[in-house]
Amino acid sequence: MSPARLATFVVATIAACAAAAHDSPASVTPLEIQQYKFGIERGCRDAGARRADPPAQVDIFCSCVIDTLNQNLSTFDWQKATFFGQQNRDKEEAQAMGPALDKIEKCHSAALSAAPAPPAPEKPAPSLVGAWEWTRKGSNCRVLYTFRGDGTGLILRGEEKTEVTYVVSGASKASGRNRLAMTTTRYLGGRDCAGSNADTTGKTAEAYLLIAPDGNTMAMCDSDLGLDCRGPFERKKSD
């Protein structure tokens, strides 16, 4: 597959949770790489849907593309591809993927000849137990989620404090994201980062989690497949 053809599979991957001004590829984070990979797979599947290709073939082909890239690109290759992709430097982005591009061609024949694979078992929901912190840029408003092992938690947004119960689902087949549902059990007052002091007792909020491979960084997205994300939230180390 040529670099130009691969580029048609890549959607915009720079959301609020992943955008950053980097001086070099080495400063690209694992979460940004994860978001970039998600963009490639999402773009691949969207392209197949637009061509009305059989869903089973699209699934085999796009899975093969990601697997081939992962097998042939080093972490630094991914950092370079993500870095240049963030800057819309298509030529350098394709060069960073050079070790894998020629090998992706095999995915076409694999998709045409292989029988649909049986559905993969659902991955168990990850543990969020601990404290996760993020500071909003611009306002410098601090957001802190503390999740306990008994399914309860405490959320601090600016001056606002709320106690919640929470449930984390298994990963979505479409995006690999986990759904987080949080229900406010007690509103303790204060204004949040948007300046609101509305009582949310009894209300449930949802977020879709994009978690970095190391399990210590995540973004919270408003939808399963969108790039409407906040973060990155960093898991705080225990004292």
Tens-binned pLDDT, residue by residue, of the chain (239 aa): 333 344 334 333 333 334 456 888 898 888 888 888 888 888 888 888 788 888 888 888 888 888 889 899 999 999 999 898 888 888 888 888 887 877 887 887 777 676 555 665 666 778 899 999 999 888 899 999 999 999 999 999 999 999 999 999 888 777 778 899 999 999 999 999 989 999 999 999 999 998 888 888 999 998 887 778 888 899 988 65
Rounded Cα distance between 192 and 225, Å, is: 26
**Angle between helix 30-50 and 55-72 (nearest 10):** 150
- Token output for 223: 């939808």
- Token output for 61: 């082909």
Are 111 and 60 in contact, with CB atoms under 8 Å apart?
Answer: yes
Specify the pLDDT at position 118: 61
Answer yes or no: pTM beyond 0.75.
Answer: no
Q: Which of 57, 44, 72 is nearest to 109 (CA)?
A: 57
Rounded Cα distance between 60 and 113, Å, is: 10
Rounded Cα distance between 95 and 101, Å, is: 9
Rounded Cα distance between 57 and 148, Å, is: 42
Are 206 and 172 in contact, with CB atoms under 8 Å apart?
Answer: no
Cα maximum dimension of the chain: 60
Locus of tokens 């992706």: 104
What lies within 8 Å, CB to CB, of 207 at 6+ separation is 179, 180, 182, 220, 221, 222
The alpha carbons of the chain give a radius of gyration, in whole angstroms, of: 20
Are 207 and 17 in contact, with CB atoms under 8 Å apart?
Answer: no
167: which strand partners?
181
